[in-house]
Amino acid sequence: MVKYFIFLLIIFKNVHSSDISSSFDSIQNDPLNRINNHFIIPSFLLNRTKFWYNIYSKYHDKNIIIHDKKNPNIIFEVLDFSNVYKSKLNRFTNITIQKNLIKGKIKAIATFLKINVKKKRKRKLISFFKKYKIPFKSRTLYKKALLLAENIRAQTGQKNNINNGFKSFLKNRSFFNSLFTIFKIPEEFIAIPFLESSFNSDAQSKVGAKGAWQFMDYVGKSFFVQNKLIDHRLNIYLSSIGAMQLIRQNYRILKRYDLSVIAYNSGLKHLFKAKRKLKKNDLMLKDLFFRYKHPGFGFASINFISEFLALVYLLKYNPNYSIDNLNNQNNKIFFYTTLCKTIPKKLFSNLSSYSKNLNLLNKHILNKDIKHNKGLVFITDFDFKNKNFKKINTSTILKTYPRYWHRIAHRYNCSIK
C-alpha cells in the first residue's frame, strides 16, 4: 500500500495543468446568421454554454476540468492525464490513479476554502477569488467561499467522443437531411444524439436508456418495438424517426423548440407544472430555471440545454465539424416489412449480392438466426421489388410510429407456399 501511494505521488508530478483558450466568443452571437432563432443563446446561459463548447471542442478525454458546479466558467484547474495512460499500468490501475488524484485536487481546494473561512483569513480568500476572477462582496465573502467549497466538480473532456460521433454522422448525412425536411424540424436537433451518446447507436446507459438518441424503456415503448428479439432503439435509422416524432409531438404541445429540447430530456410534466405554478402560458427558459423550483428539475436540465446549445454552435461554426460546409453523400436508406415468416440471416445472405451492409443496417434485430413472424421491419441501402416484401413509404414514416409498421404486413398475403 505504501509503495502504491509513493507511485501515486510520482505519477501526480506528471499530471500537468493547462489553460486552453476558446474561440466561442467570436461566434456566440451567431455572426453569420446560421442558427435558427429558437436557439439563440440567452444571456443567463452564455457562460455555461461556453464551458460546454470548450468541453466538446478543446478538451480531450484525458483532460479533467475542475470547476464550480453552479458557475462552470470558474475553472480551478485543467488536469492532463495523458502521461498516466501512457504508462505500462493496466487500464483499471490507470482509472484508479486518476480518480484518486481528482478527489485529491477537489479536496485540496475545498479544504483550503473551509480552513481559511474557519480561521477568518480574509486576505487569502480575497487572493483566491481574484486569482480565479470570481466576483465577490466583502460582507458575503465567507458565505460564498463555503458555497464554492461544496460545489466543486470534475468534468471529463469530450473532444475525442465528438470526433468519433461526427464520423458516424457523416456516413448518414443525407438521411438526416431528408428526415428533417420530411418532418419540418430544425436540423439543429441533430445535436441531441451527439449530446446523448456521441452518436453511438450501441450506447446503453446505467439507467436503461439505449441507442444514439438514448430512449428510456418507458418512453421508447410508445414509438418502438422493444423485446428480446427486436429493439428499434439500437437502430440509428428507426430511432431517429422515433426521435423526430417525439420532437414534433413536443413542439405541437409547447409551441417552442427550445422548450422541446428540455422536454426531450425531462419530459413534459415539469413544463406543465411550471406553467401552472407560475401561471404563465408563454413559459420562458429563464422563468423555468430560476422561478420553478422542484427537486427533480434543475442542474441536469440546465446543463442539458447548455450542452445542446454548445453543440448547435459547434456544428454550425467550428471548422472541424461545420455541417453547413459538407457535401451531401447520396446514401439512401429504404425500409421494408416482410409479408412472410423470415429468418433474417438467410434473407440477408440472399440479398448479399446487392449489399454487404445488411447486418450493420439492421442492428435492431437482436437474433438473426431464428424465424421471425411476418411484419419484421428491415432496412437496406438499395431499392428492390419483391412481392413478399412491402416498402415503407414516406407517408407511413411521417405519420406512423415504427412500432406499428408491422401492421402493414397484415393487409397482404404471403405468396410462398
pLDDT tens across 124-169, in order?
A: 999 999 999 999 999 999 999 999 999 999 999 999 999 999 988 9
Q: What are phi and psi of 393, to 5 degrees?
A: -85, 170
Same domain, 104 and 175: no
pLDDT tens column, 262-281 = 999 999 999 999 999 988 88
Same domain as 306, residue 231: yes
Q: Are residues 285 and 174 in the same domain?
A: yes
Q: Confidence band (pLDDT; 50, 70, 90) for 242?
A: very high
Same domain, 149 and 10: yes
R_g of the chain computed on alpha carbons: 25
pLDDT band at 89 (very low <50, low <70, confident <90, very high): confident
What is the rounded CA–CA span in Å between residue 117 and residue 121?
A: 6
Mean pLDDT confidence for 205-216: 95
User: 18 near 60, Cβ under 8 Å?
Assistant: no
Closest CA to 303 of 155, 132, 187: 155
pLDDT recorded at residue 319: 84
Task: Mark whether 191 and 319 lie in a shared domain.
Answer: yes
Residues 322-338: b if buried by 16+ CB within 10 A, e if exposed: ebeeeeeeeeebebbbb
| 361 within a domain of the structure (yes/no) | yes
Residues 313 and 224 in one domain: yes
- Flag whether 55 is in a domain: no
Q: Is residue 92 part of a domain?
A: yes
| Residue 6 predicted with pLDDT over 80 | no
User: 89, 121, 156 — which closes off a domain?
Assistant: 156
| Residue 379 and residue 334 in contact, taking contact as beta carbons nearer than 8 Å | yes
- Residue 48 domain-assigned? no
- Same domain? 67 vs 141: yes
Query: At 310, which helix (H) or strand (E)?
Result: helix 299-317
Whether residue 311 is found in the same domain as residue 395: no
pLDDT of residue 15: 54
**Nearest C-alpha neighbor of 263 from the set 275, 273, 251, 245:** 251
The parent domain of residue 392 ranges over 334-411
The β-bridge relationship of strands 377-380 and 63-68 is: unpaired
Q: What pLDDT sits at residue 299?
A: 84
In a domain, 76, yes or no: yes
- Work out the mean pLDDT of the chain and round it to a whole number: 90
Q: Among 96, 128, 156, identify where a domain stops.
A: 156
The CA distance from 231 to 211, in Å, is 9
Assess whether 401 and 261 both reside in one domain. no
Q: Alpha helices, DSSP H only, in 28-158?
A: 46-57, 82-86, 91-118, 122-131, 141-150
- Whether 41 maps to a domain, the answer reads no
Lowest model confidence (mean pLDDT) among 78-92, 218-232, 254-268: 78-92
Sign of the four-CA dihedral 271, 272, 273, 275: positive
Residue 258, domain CATH: 1.10.530.10
Question: Cell triple for residue 31?
Answer: 455572426
Helix (H) or strand (E) run with residue 183 in it: helix 173-183
pTM flag (> 0.75): yes
| Confidence check: pLDDT of 188 > 60 | yes
H/E stretch holding 349: helix 344-350
Last residue of one domain, picked from the residues 109, 134, 156: 156
Q: Comparing C-alpha atoms, which of 265, 243, 263, 264 is closest to residue 273? A: 263
34 lies in a domain?
no
Question: Are 17 and 147 members of one domain?
Answer: yes
User: Residue 4 has which C-alpha cell?
Assistant: 502504491
- The number of domains in the chain is 3
Q: Starting at the earlier edge strand, list the strands of the sheet with 16-17.
A: 16-17, 75-80, 63-68, 152-156
Does 258 lie in the same domain as 174?
yes
Does 1 have pLDDT greater than 60? Answer: no
Distance set, CA 369 to CA 138, 275, 346, 347, 414 (Å):
71, 51, 8, 10, 20
Amino acid at 238: L
Q: What is the pLDDT of residues 27-80, one digit of tens each?
A: 999 999 999 999 999 999 999 999 999 999 999 999 999 999 999 999 999 999
Pair 316, 344 in one domain: no
Q: Quick check: is 247 in a domain? A: yes
